[in-house]
Structure 1
């Protein structure tokens, strides 16, 4: 693959989507085409339809393994249709969530186990991993409070899970970050968005392999 693949990870309310949007406007690659900004579940049309099924608040009867399989299916479609073609042309891909989300949410939050979820998603992605993952770390309670305060009318099925679920998700992310410290870099998301964005920019610009610079 010619391009670089960067994923943005974190529990609900961590602010990673907001940070990704702002960072995209502030940086550009030193050469080549503009980065591809995408998300999971979603990106591709078919994957976006699966996203609707997964996150629909009315689908409360969804089994945990069904959820895990749907995420993997959406990811497969996304990788084949969007991520791999972009990387092959040399584009940088900035993705809001990837495999680590499934390991944290289904492996940790749903207590299905890290290994089965990782194996399922390695099959779905053909083993494609990000070159860099930025983990937006925030206490679960703080993230849920942000959701309640800022998007109460847009809460999806996972947003509505109880605190214990989100705490398990956070613990899983912490374990992933510790076990994959070369790939996963931790950002303190429990601060105002300007400081978060500044920390992300610093990380991207200081990585010589990524070849980013700030817009003039």
Structure 2
């Protein structure tokens, strides 16, 4: 029960409440699935190992600590893994789904011999394929004309990096209010369109906004 409580608290600490769908918890006879909007800020491996805490919602975490839930930052998920191992249950699974709505998914199997539902896996695969097709369609639509290829968020990103050429993806994400992964994809689209260029190395380089100054990027 404590491990399940920690899993739920972790969802609430790290949810991107500006995202869509919100926190979702699903219970089936053989598993518990916790989903929250937003990617994993520390990365999957670091989340599993623990020791590093970078919650999106520090005040939410602090409130829970007052009732002794998630009081040790960076230890909640490792405790869940340890509890499941001690109970002889399958190792918990952590996934990140990237798309128009980035999501983090933690799955806890409740039976020692439980296996993933093949039908559910097929359904998930079809959803991923459909999402990919939708993304391709979106990208093709963006490439039809200069004014149509740039979304409002991408205009904001271009304006921001024009003023702050040394900005990181995290800086851009904070400026536009989305995840770093979403900003990274927007930057790749802008680079592909020839409107943005990365000059120099990843750490020491800078951004250049390309094209005429009268492009509608503000």
TM superposition score category, shorter chain reference: under 0.3
Structure number with greater Rg is 2
TM-score, with length taken from structure 2: 0.26
TM-score, with length taken from structure 1: 0.26
The higher relative CO (CA closer than 8 Å, separation ≥ 6) is in 1
